[in-house]
Amino acid sequence: MSRPDSSSQYRLLRERRFAPFFWTQFLGAMNDNVFKVAFTSLVTYQTARFAGVDGQSAAFLISAIFIAPFVLFSATSGQLADKFEKSRLIRLVKTLEIAIMLVGLAGFALYSAPLLYVATFLMGLHSTLFGPVKYAYLPQHLHETELVGGNGLVEMGTFVAILLGTLVGGELASLEGGGALGGPVWVGAACVVLAIAGRVTASRVPQSPAPQPQLRINWNPFTETWRNLRLAAESRTVFLSLLGISWLWFLGATFLTSFFAFAKTVLGGDQNVVTLLLAVFSVGIGVGSLLCERLSGRHVEVGLVPFGSIGMTVFAVDLYFASRGGNAVQLTGVAGFLAEARHWRVLADLFLLAMFGGFYSVPLYALIQSRSAPTHRARIIAANNILNSLFMIASALLAMAMTAAGFSLPQLFLAVGLLNAAVAIYIYSLVPEFLLRFVAWILVHTVYRLERIHADRIPESGPAVLVCNHVSFADAVVLMAASPRPVRFVMDHRIFRIPVLSWLFRQARAIPIAPAHEDAAMLERAYAEVALALEAGELVCVFPEGKITATGEINPFRQGVQRIVARTPVPVVPMALRGLWGSFFSRKGGAAMTRPFRRGILSRLQLVVGEPIAPERASPEYLQQLVQGLRGELR
């Protein structure tokens, strides 16, 4: 796959490799929500028309029925997506959707809860079959630099579809009349039309060859589920990313499922207020998802994940304070709801909570796609769907347990917000990469503005030695933020031990090194650890000057890189930092880190990356010449 141009992610919507798939996903998500929102609204506000239905628990029951197929069939659907060509699978699934919606139409026309429950289960099956195909399709057709933008568009499209489905489902369900002229019949008809439209767009989805056509299907969902979970757990970062996404589904399900009761009993709102809450939440997710590409610099930036989790906790907790004291006496519409000032704070909290959820989820999905083996990718996504389902069931159980114990819905939101902070701390303690990238991302988006020039020359996979000039104490952090992959840094043992920075360097698995005359044993350990890292396919960054410049000029390069590649022959990538000389972290005018904001806020930095060279050409003199040329006159 050739590298794409650097234009906006929106150009993908004009390309056949993405657009038909996008609209197929969009229409499916919209149809799900027209159906579920209309069904939930009808049994909540028109309970008497559905025999034997409890309006208070209907929303949780509908959610549980929809989730059940994810638990039962995700393992099988993941195997199907790895074994068979994906465009064919997509068309079969969308044909199935038409049949399911005909069952739904009959259920709405007859006010038959059993038929609608059957259709709900089958729609869950439809989504179960489509899920692994959806997330395994993108890496086959998008370049690594397009994954964040593509996932952002899909997430945005999904939640815009949820918004439109919520509006359409709510409006059609509220139409007056009975029999053939009633709102439920219009809901059923709309669902059939959307299913047919989805099948039409699916016909233009391009072929996606099966990554493992020889795979033998294991039809036992329990043993295959266990196998998929073990497969996902082979990569600790991928597995914990799956858990992170599943936690977001736990949190999201808690809010979305509670909106009907929250609007009615806490905010005193009618069906239209429910629609408004869902709309604000959906728009927030969409905005956050779209902003990810701009904030991540077109790379899989896991530093956004802690940023997202912090925002989610802050606004979930504030939602508790914003909605306390609500006591619904008489239901009001949107105009009456918006007339109260405190309700604007509720809407702002929901929007911002959802937006930070977008910052949190998109990089995680892109990370899983980029770091999963193509032959197992769909089954790992299936494992994610299984975990999502279990977490959503746990969400429903927690909500029912807390409400049964007398806790209010705002108190439920507070509990989930605090749990989110605890879960985030736990995950980041297990995978420091998330937190390290967050620190680096914050640095280059608050103190500096970083421009990457030819960063695509850093290898996407495999081992390499990165060589860069050494301008300041922040060099490693800036390079960490600029690289699309994790980097192991070789650094002077004195810098490695600097308080505060030392913790950061340890978490980044930096390799301390000392001259032979100071600590010969440490020097040998450093070379041995570098060799192990390169043999494992990692990137290793070396500052060949051996010390930070005190004059702004490049110090003579030492022999270390030549010795490294003589032992482990790998490509060497020359790089140069521009703009850090004179910063707070440099030694210009005296000791570093003694004069804050020497160059002001958001000063401009550049990282210029040269063409990789063969290991046999990596002499100190030649490398210094290359780095000097990349740096130019700027320091």
Which residues on adjacent β-strands are paired with residue 574? 467
Share of the chain above pLDDT 70, in %: 89
Q: Where in the chain is the domain with CATH 3.40.1130.10?
A: 442-631
Whether 495 has a pLDDT exceeding 50, the answer reads yes
Average pLDDT of every residue of the chain:
83
Q: What's the CA gap between 604 and 601, in Å, rounded?
A: 9
Question: What per-residue confidence (pLDDT) applies to 315?
Answer: 94
Look up residue 85 and give its two tokens.
């060509």
Q: What is the pLDDT of residue 296?
A: 66
Closest Cα partner for 91 from 254, 200, 249, 194? 200
Domain ranges in the chain with CATH number 1.20.1250.20: 15-430
Q: How confident is the model at residue 24 (pLDDT cuts 50, 70, 90)?
A: very high
Residue with the two structure tokens 């990089």: 363
Q: Which superfamily, per CATH, for 442-631?
A: Glycerol-3-phosphate (1)-acyltransferase (3.40.1130.10)
Q: Among 619, 612, 539, which Cα is nearest to 574's?
A: 612
pLDDT in tens, 118-158: 999 999 999 888 888 877 788 888 887 787 778 778 878 88
Its sign, for the CA torsion 76, 80, 82, 86, is negative
In this predicted structure, the answer to whether residue 247 has a pLDDT above a threshold of 80 is yes
Q: Is the pLDDT of residue 2 over 50?
A: no
Q: How far apart are CA 415 and CA 419, in angstroms?
A: 6
Kindly report, residue by residue over 206-233, the tens digit of the pLDDT: 988 888 888 888 888 778 778 877 877 7
- Residue by residue, what is the 3-state secondary structure of 293-338? HHHHCCCCCCCHHHHHHHHHHHHHHHHHHHHCCCCCCCCECHHHHH
At residue 56, the pLDDT reads 59
What token pair was written down for 47?
């309970």
pTM, rounded to two decimals: 0.68
Structure confidence at residue 330 (pLDDT): 67
Strands (E), 167-320: none
Query: Cα torsion at 592, 596, 600, 602 (round to 10°)?
Result: 80
8-19 residue pLDDT tens: 677 888 888 899
Q: Positive or negative CA dihedral for 348, 349, 353, 356?
A: positive
> Would the pLDDT of 97 be above 90?
yes
Q: Residues 75, 225: contact at Cβ < 8 Å?
A: yes
User: What is the pLDDT, as a whole number, of residue 11?
Assistant: 82
Per-residue H/E/C for 28-60: HHHHHHHHHHHHHHHHHHCHHHCCCCCCCCHHH
| pLDDT 10s digits, 157-195 | 887 888 788 888 888 887 765 444 567 888 999 999 999
pLDDT of residue 595: 64
As a whole number, mean pLDDT of residues 458-480 equals 88
CATH architecture of 15-430: Up-down Bundle (1.20)
For the stretch 508-554, pLDDT in tens is 788 999 888 888 899 999 999 999 999 999 999 999 998 889 888 89
Contacts of 156 (CB under 8 A, 6+ apart): 285, 286, 287, 289, 290, 358
Arithmetic mean of pLDDT, 280-288:
84
